Amino acid sequence: MKTHKQIKDWGLNLTTPLIIAGPCSAESPEQIEKICLDMKEANAVPQIFRAGIWKPRTRPGSFEGIGEDGLKWMEIVRHHLNIPITVEVGNAAHAELALKHGVDVIWVGARTTVNPFAVQEIAEALRGSDVPVMVKNPMNPDLDLWIGALERMHAVGLDKLAAIHRGFSDAYDKRFRNKPNWSMPIHLKRVWTGMEVINDPSHIVGRRDGILEVSQRAINFGLDGLMIETHHDPDNAWSDAKQQVTPKALREILNAIDFKEPLENMRPDERLQDLRRAVDHLDDQLLDILQERFAVIDQIGEHKREHHLTVFQSDRWKDVMESRTQKGMAKNLSEKFMKELLYSIHEESVKRQEKQLREADAIKKA
Ligand code: PEP
Ligand code: MN
């Protein structure tokens, strides 16, 4: 199992839910100072200040970031807010400059996570530094790419890690700028135990309205924090103007969110324990039924072998799929769930029967 240090152990005095805020892009020392002062005034000082210094823009000609100068302005944040600072790096040179200027936390953007060469180059540049790294999900919904980028950091000894969920681009679904695909961050948390995922509602929604709703969903799902783009004058921001909020609006969003208690912090609750025992019992029954079902499948396999029948019969499969899906939907199970469940059971059945045939062939040949 991959071990890593969680946010609370990064040595930066951070807790979850972690709130990260700051502008999409650093624009000028005056802008950074104004945002800091407005954050203080609105009682909306985040735990980490974010600012893009190098901006990976989809089309050329947009503002591509202020570059190294912006790193010097981070002193303004330290002076006014005295909180850690995070910036995005997209290549080894950025990573080296970020380290040189004492950036506290580094993040890898969605357009970089898709490119294993760039991720590896950044990892090498950070080797030996102990800087915490947050990896945004890749543009496309590919969990392995996301995990792979975290693994590349881990492999060079960077063990202060977290992930950022910023949604996935979808050419057809225009409800979101980047579709959330909630199963993806949840899956990451399942396969990498203890990996914390910060939600970035700003890049998911792409507009100011809707940030609260997506933030609340992220908290409901058990994600570990929020990164919200915050600017003193969002309409005139040099990048992502439509989605940035003022520090005052940030305060209102944070006040409106119903932050849930993480289950692991909860005092033992009899009702929940009873319900979980009931689920344990039902799962045992489910496994007994599956065992019985596969025993019958094995008998069918034996019969097919004796009568020289093929393992896969498409008419039967179509019939099973359709009738069970209908029955499941009548029991309030979703069509998607029924199809995935049946597909998975069927795939296992086919594999078992194919194995029987293979073994019988091997015996014949011997
Ligand atoms: C950003 O956070 O400003 C950014 C460029 O995000 P992403 O990599 O998610 O597009
Ligand atoms: Mn942005």
Same structural domain for residues 282 and 212? no
User: Domain boundary residue among 200, 226, 260?
Assistant: 260
Q: Which of 136, 164, 226, 230 to mutate to test the pocket of ligand 1 (most atoms within 8 A of CB)?
A: 136
Residue of 228, 217, 348, 358 lying closest to 295 (CA atoms):
348
- Cβ atoms of residues 51 and 85 within 8 Å: yes
Same structural domain for residues 250 and 276? no
**Is there a domain that residue 1 lies in?**
no
Preceding omega of 84 cis (within 30 degrees of 0): no
Run of H or E residues at 86: strand 85-89
Same structural domain for residues 244 and 128? yes
Domain that holds residue 87: 7-260
The domain spanning residue 284 has which CATH number? 1.20.59.10
**Diameter of the chain measured on Cα atoms:** 83
- Cβ atoms of residues 84 and 48 within 8 Å: yes
* Number of domains the chain is built from: 2
Same structural domain for residues 256 and 272? no
Ligand nearest to the CA of 58: 1
For atom 10 of ligand 1, which residue has the closest CA?
A: 110
361 C-alpha to ligand 1 centroid (Å):
56
Q: What is the pLDDT of residue 59?
A: 84
**Is there a domain that residue 2 lies in?**
no
Q: What is the pLDDT of residue 72?
A: 95
Q: What is the pLDDT of residue 2?
A: 73
CA 94 – CA 354 distance, rounded (Å): 53
Residue of 203, 156, 276, 207 lying closest to 24 (CA atoms):
203
**Is there a domain that residue 107 lies in?**
yes
45 C-alpha to ligand 1 centroid (Å):
21
CA 13 – CA 180 distance, rounded (Å): 29
CA 189 – CA 230 distance, rounded (Å): 27
Closest ligand 1 atom to 55 CA: 5
Same structural domain for residues 190 and 92? yes
Q: What is the pLDDT of residue 46?
A: 98
Q: What is the pLDDT of residue 173?
A: 83
- Give, as one character, the DSSP assignment of residue 331: T
User: Domain boundary residue among 226, 260, 294?
Assistant: 260
167 C-alpha to ligand 2 centroid (Å):
13
Q: What is the pLDDT of residue 88?
A: 98
Phi, psi for 339 (deg, rounded to 5): -65, -45
**Is there a domain that residue 212 lies in?**
yes
Q: What is the pLDDT of residue 157?
A: 97
Q: What is the pLDDT of residue 264?
A: 66
For atom 2 of ligand 1, which residue has the closest CA?
A: 24
Residue of 289, 282, 342 lying closest to 318 (CA atoms):
342
CA 260 to chain centre: 19
12 C-alpha to ligand 2 centroid (Å):
24
pLDDT digit string (tens) for the chain, length 366 residues: 578 999 999 999 999 999 999 999 999 999 999 999 999 999 999 999 999 999 988 888 888 999 999 999 999 999 999 999 999 999 999 999 999 999 999 999 999 999 999 999 999 999 999 999 999 999 999 999 999 999 999 999 999 999 999 999 998 888 899 999 999 999 999 999 999 999 999 999 999 999 999 999 999 999 999 999 999 999 999 999 999 999 999 999 999 999 977 666 667 788 888 999 999 999 999 999 999 999 999 999 999 889 988 888 889 999 999 999 999 999 999 999 999 999 999 999 989 988 988 888 888 887
- Look-up: residue for tokens 């950036």? 103
Same structural domain for residues 105 and 252? yes
108 bridge partner residues: 89, 135
Q: What's the CA angle centered on 365, arms 361 and 366, to 5 degrees? A: 115
**Is there a domain that residue 118 lies in?**
yes
48 C-beta neighbours (distance < 10 Å), count: 25
First to last CA, the chain: 41
Same structural domain for residues 246 and 304? no
Same structural domain for residues 315 and 216? no
Ligand nearest to the CA of 107: 1
Packing angle, helices 29-41 and 68-81, rounded to 10:
30
Same structural domain for residues 103 and 242? yes
- Cβ atoms of residues 182 and 215 within 8 Å: no
CA 296 – CA 315 distance, rounded (Å): 19
The domain spanning residue 52 has which CATH number? 3.20.20.70
- Look-up: residue for tokens 């086919």? 350
CA 112 – CA 5 distance, rounded (Å): 23
Name the burial class of residue 93, with classes exposed (0-12), middle (13-18) and buried (19+) by CB atoms within 10 angstroms of its CB. middle
Residue of 24, 6, 20 lying closest to 225 (CA atoms):
20
User: Domain boundary residue among 231, 260, 289?
Assistant: 260
Give the pocket of ligand 1 (CB within 6 Å).
24, 52, 56, 109-111, 136, 166, 203
Number of H helices, E strands in the chain: 13, 8
Distances in Å between the alpha carbon of 246 and those of 45, 69, 80, 145? 12, 24, 17, 33
Packing angle, helices 116-126 and 143-155, rounded to 10:
20
5 bridge partner residues: 160
Same structural domain for residues 79 and 186? yes
- Cβ atoms of residues 184 and 145 within 8 Å: no
Residue of 147, 128, 125, 124 lying closest to 136 (CA atoms):
147
**Is there a domain that residue 113 lies in?**
yes
Same structural domain for residues 307 and 352? yes
Closest ligand 1 atom to 56 CA: 5
Same structural domain for residues 102 and 251? yes
Q: What is the pLDDT of residue 172?
A: 87
**Is there a domain that residue 193 lies in?**
yes
